[in-house]
């Protein structure tokens, strides 16, 4: 029985080592593929900038700035008394005058 448990422990240890090596190979292959994709993206962007006129690839992979603060979602609160929608910073309802 002890011999069986020892053999199972060794087998588990060997499997963990092999699984770790397989994970490392997958991680390395993924990193290589991502590097190739970034290089291709940069090449396509350079080609699209060199060509005259708009390019469809530039629209797909543009590095545009994130939306401005003005484009944020506007939050409204509902008055408990009359149900009117008011700005989230309002302290009283503009319709009925109740406190929010």
Do 52 and 7 lie in one domain? The reply is yes
Range of the domain at 57: 2-64
* Count: domains in the chain: 2
What is the per-residue pLDDT across 34-75, written as a single tens digit (0 to 9) for each? 999 999 998 888 887 776 555 555 555 555 555 555 556 778
Burial of 77 (0-12, 13-18, 19+ CB in 10 A): middle
Do 27 and 71 lie in one domain? The reply is no
Do 51 and 98 lie in one domain? The reply is no
pLDDT above 70 covers a percentage of the chain that reads 77
pLDDT of residue 15: 94
pLDDT of residue 51: 65
pLDDT of residue 89: 86
Do 55 and 10 lie in one domain? The reply is yes
- 45 Cβ contact partners less than 8 Å away, ≥ 6 residues apart: 57, 58, 61
pTM: 0.41
What is the per-residue pLDDT across 71-80, written as a single tens digit (0 to 9) for each? 567 788 888 8
């Amino acid at each position: 029985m002890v011999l069986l448990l020892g053999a199972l422990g060794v087998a588990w240890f060997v499997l963990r080592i092999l699984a770790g090596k397989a994970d490392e190979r997958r991680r390395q292959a993924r990193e290589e593929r991502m590097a190739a994709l970034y290089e291709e993206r940069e090449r396509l962007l350079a080609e699209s900038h060199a060509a005259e006129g708009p390019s469809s690839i530039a629209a797909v992979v543009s590095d545009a700035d994130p939306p401005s603060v003005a484009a944020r979602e506007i939050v409204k609160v509902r008055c408990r008394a009359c149900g009117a929608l008011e700005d989230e910073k309002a302290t009283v309802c503009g319709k009925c005058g109740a406190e929010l």
